[in-house]
A and B are shown apart, each in its own frame.
Chain A
Amino acid sequence: MEWFWPEGFYTLLMIGVFAFAAFVWDMPIAVAMAMAAITGAIAAGEGVPLRHQVEGEFGYVDTILIIATAMVFMKVIQRTGLLESIAAWVIRKFRGYPVLLSLGIMFIIMVPGMITGSSTAAVLTTGALVAPVMMELGVPMLQTAAAISMGALFGMIAPPISIPAMIIGAGVDIPYVGFGMPLLICTVPLAVICSLWLIYPYVRKPRDEASLEAQLAKMSRVPMSLRLFLTVIVLVVLLGGERTLPLYWPSLGMPLSFLLASASGLLSGVRWNPIETVTEAIDEALPVMGILMGVGMFIQIMTLTGVRGFVVVSALALPSWTLYLGIAISMPLFGAVSSFGSASVLGVPFLMALLGQNEIVVASALSLVASLGDLMPPTALAGIFAAQVVGEKNYFKVLRHCMLPALLTVCWGIAVILMAKPIAKLIF
């Protein structure tokens, strides 16, 4: 009881106010988060700490800019017709090879996450590209969104860039070196299984050729040309340049790269209205940006009032065999706040609790488990955007289809931690 009072009470109070405001009063998630944060601060005798609320929001400035600009980019490639044209081409070309097609689609979804370390980037770029392909091939809408979400998570964790792994490593002063193989071990088996599970069964079914051909003709009404591809080429050059020649390439940052790529869409030869497109993009990204600001405020107040320490130390207090259970449950749950937050707040103490295994392998596995935070409401960045990409209003429906793959991911993450020593022997 001495441990529980008062921080445990604040924890329940903040969660309770959030749930009540969001689900009973039907407030937007962002507002509900802010209300929970303010209530927690008042209960803890901090009044309404304006400075803390604003400061907490600033934790996500960069993420918010990436989301806004990536959304603009997605809308542009939609408007120019590039998305549908590519989809039609891929279907015509690879329909005869369903296994290859399933694995290929999964890999394409992962690529932007692998090079940017952001699941949002993956969902809103190649995720948006393959969504029409998958649906046209017969993958149901929700399975499509689920496959895109999972692919984006695996891409975020897969090498060369895994920001959660970097964050966990930085917390215990391990440089980001030697993570390539462990991260591949964490992600590749899962990506293969998910593509064969979520995509392949639908892709291999035969389809009514005539109606498909009509559909494909409609999709490819804008002829594929180099000019049409300009947006993607500019993006690949800008993001890829920084990754491959980091010492010589100017670091523009992802937001500016997305904006420049979007602007190049004006030269694509297809007419589209920039103001309308950007307005629509921001309008659709706004709720998520709001949620992130609410979450930032929420974390700062959690830290201020001692709720964060209560949660972390309670997780660490679990007896050793339940420690793994603690990792499996608390890291994805805390990811509700953000997967990067989970990596930093919980990943680092868990890694310290597991010192003596191979730290690089364990950190890689912990980052895999942390990535699931991007499926955890209310933030659920990967789920929300995947739902948007396929045109589903209720992202909870998408998350339901991610449950089993997510469970598998947790189990694999824990398995890798348990096998850290033999794995390390094998690869180092």
Chain B
Amino acid sequence: MRSSRGTALTAAALCVAVALICFVSARSFLAMRLPDPVAPAQGFERYNLSHWFPALKGSPGDSDVYIQDSGVPGGTVFIMGGTHPNEPSGYMAAVVYLERAKVTKGRLIVMPFANATAMGHNSPQEASPQYFSLDVDGGTRWFRYGSRATNPVYQWPAPDIYIHAQSGQKLDGGSKSNLNRAYPGVPDDSLTQQVAYGIIQLLNKEKVDLAFDLHEASPEYPVVNAIVAHNRAMELAAMVSMELEMAGIPMRLEPSPVNFRGLSHREWGDHSDALAILMETGNPSQGRLRGKTDAALAVTGKDKAYLKAAALGRLFIPYEGDQTLDLRTARHVTSMKMFMDMLGDVKEGGDVEVEGIPSFDDMMERGIGAFLSPVEDDRFDGK
């Protein structure tokens, strides 16, 4: 290696270049912290997570929560997307409910972007797109594609090992920033642990009967196109799984593993009265086998590396060249609707009725954009 010592001039020139690179890239990074505008359907009232856990007030983790109360006595359903903002069908399904639901019995609570700070950055070396767009009636809607982890700006450095506070279970240090390893949460620990704590408070104070945590998984991961249910929710989940099978939208049913702690489907069920359900659809844009990574991959799921992997028998979803966001979102939306329709059968007085939710076929035919409303979005002026 040649070692060439520079001069004061080369040093100054390098400093200017570095400052320029920092300025330009920082603008791009900071822009991602602006929230995605949404258009809640009539009847939704906006709250923040700090409503249930005041310590979060003013913190970057104080995510928006929307409640629609039909005024007719019934159960309460909680829909949460955005635990992992690199799994877009999860939060898109929550947004479809937020923008279309008309609750006629019971109450519906929607928290579309659960880990708010994870929405605002990307994981290094994943080359994720920052945004993707969908065509809606009268315009284009932009959504961020975030990271699996809480933004390290608010929770750094990671410990060398993450010890789950209630069980002593050890995980790699990075998992401390994973909201779905943090439940039931700790009120005076890092941001992720506080957000988890806040969500448990919400579930309890609002007496939630049925709670969804919406995810995606890579197609090569064994738990994909799956419903993971807490043992109290197994009966209901089994009914729904059968119904989905008959409707031609198979979702494998998995019991919540008893020895793996910190996950929503286990701790929500153990620390509240809710029937806890986690659902996974197959998302090529987060997988380790994916090829070219961009916004198109997030929306279409078209990928030649996955096609080859499918031919090799490495995948746990049927894959014929694509896996659209429409399909993945429709799976979540339709499955949740079936859960709600059957909730009254297993929980007396727990009925929740919701109208206005598009059918699976409607979403596949017209795309989920057809069921979103146009919004003012000043992030993309002139773009």
User: Which residues of A are in contact with B by a Cβ distance under 8 Å?
Assistant: 2-3, 7, 26-29, 44, 50-52, 54-59, 62, 116-117, 161, 163, 166-167, 169-173, 175-177, 242-243, 246-247, 251, 253-255, 287, 296, 299-301, 303-306, 309-310, 312-313, 316-317, 341, 344-345, 348-349, 352-353, 355
Contact = CB atoms under 8 A, between A and B. Distances in A.
Nearest to B170: A176
A56 B288 contact: no
B5 to A, nearest CB: 11
B159 A310 contact: no
Contact of A161 (B122, B160, B169, B309): B160
A175 B170 contact: yes
Contacts of A296: 124-125
Contacts of A305: 292
Contacts of A167: 172
B289 A29 contact: no
B157 interface: yes
A59 B125 contact: yes
B290 interface: yes
27 contacts: A3-B304, A50-B28, A51-B25, A54-B21, A54-B25, A55-B125, A56-B124, A59-B124, A117-B160, A163-B160, A163-B172, A170-B171, A170-B175, A175-B171, A242-B159, A246-B161, A247-B165, A251-B159, A296-B124, A304-B127, A309-B305, A313-B305, A313-B312, A316-B289, A316-B314, A349-B220, A349-B314
Nearest to A55: B124
Given A29-B1, A243-B160, 5 more contacts: A51-B29, A57-B124, A176-B172, A300-B126, A306-B291
A309 B289 contact: yes
A256 to B, nearest CB: 9
Nearest 9 A-B pairs (CB), nearest first? A306-B291, A59-B124, A166-B172, A306-B292, A309-B305, A304-B127, A303-B127, A309-B291, A54-B25
A155 B122 CA distance: 32
A62 B158 contact: yes
Contacts of A251: 157, 159-160
A309 B293 CA distance: 9
A316 B312 contact: yes
B305 A306 contact: yes
Contact of B21 (A50, A62, A303): A50
B163 interface: yes
Interface of B: 1-2, 21, 24-25, 28-29, 122, 124-127, 130, 157-161, 163, 165, 169-175, 220-223, 259-261, 288-294, 303-305, 308-309, 312, 314
A255 B159 CA distance: 12
A111 to B, nearest CB: 15
Contacts of B29: 51, 55
Interface of B is mostly: loop
Contacts of B175: 170
Contact of A242 (B160, B303, B305): B160
Contacts of B171: 166, 170, 175-176
A304 B292 contact: yes
A300 B160 contact: no
A332 B24 CA distance: 36
A62 B173 CA distance: 12
B317 to A, nearest CB: 14
Nearest to B294: A304
B242 to A, nearest CB: 26
Nearest to A345: B288
Given A52-B127, A62-B158, A349-B289, A177 B314 contact: no
B294 to A, nearest CB: 8
Contact of A116 (B125, B158, B160): B160
B125 A341 contact: yes
Contact of A312 (B24, B165, B173, B289): B289
Contacts of A301: 127
Contacts of B24: 50
A242 B159 CA distance: 9
B308 A175 contact: no
A173 B172 contact: no
Contact of B160 (A44, A254, A312): A254
Nearest to A163: B172
Nearest to A2: B304
Nearest to A253: B157
Contacts of B304: 2-3
Nearest to B4: A28
B7 to A, nearest CB: 17
B308 A313 contact: yes
B125 A56 contact: yes
Contacts of A310: 291, 305
A287 B21 contact: no
Nearest to B165: A247
Nearest to B217: A173
Nearest to A179: B170
Nearest to A295: B125
A404 to B, nearest CB: 26
A144 to B, nearest CB: 23
Contacts of A2: 304
Contacts of A28: 1-2
Nearest to A66: B157
Given A116-B160, A316-B314, A304 B172 contact: no
Contacts of B160: 116-117, 161, 163, 242-243, 251, 254
Given A50-B21, A51-B25, A309-B290, A303 B126 contact: yes
Contacts of A175: 169-171, 259-261
A266 B221 CA distance: 52
A344 B218 CA distance: 14
A166 B161 contact: yes
Contacts of B308: 3, 313, 317
Contacts of A247: 163, 165
Contacts of A287: 1
A410 B291 CA distance: 28
Contacts of B288: 171, 312, 344-345, 348-349
Contacts of A348: 288
Contacts of A353: 314
B371 to A, nearest CB: 31
B152 to A, nearest CB: 8
Contacts of B261: 175
A246 B25 CA distance: 37
A300 B172 contact: no
Nearest to A299: B125
- Among B1, B2, B158, which residue has the most Cβ atoms of chain A within 10 A? B1
Contacts of A57: 124
Contacts of B220: 349, 352
Nearest to A170: B172
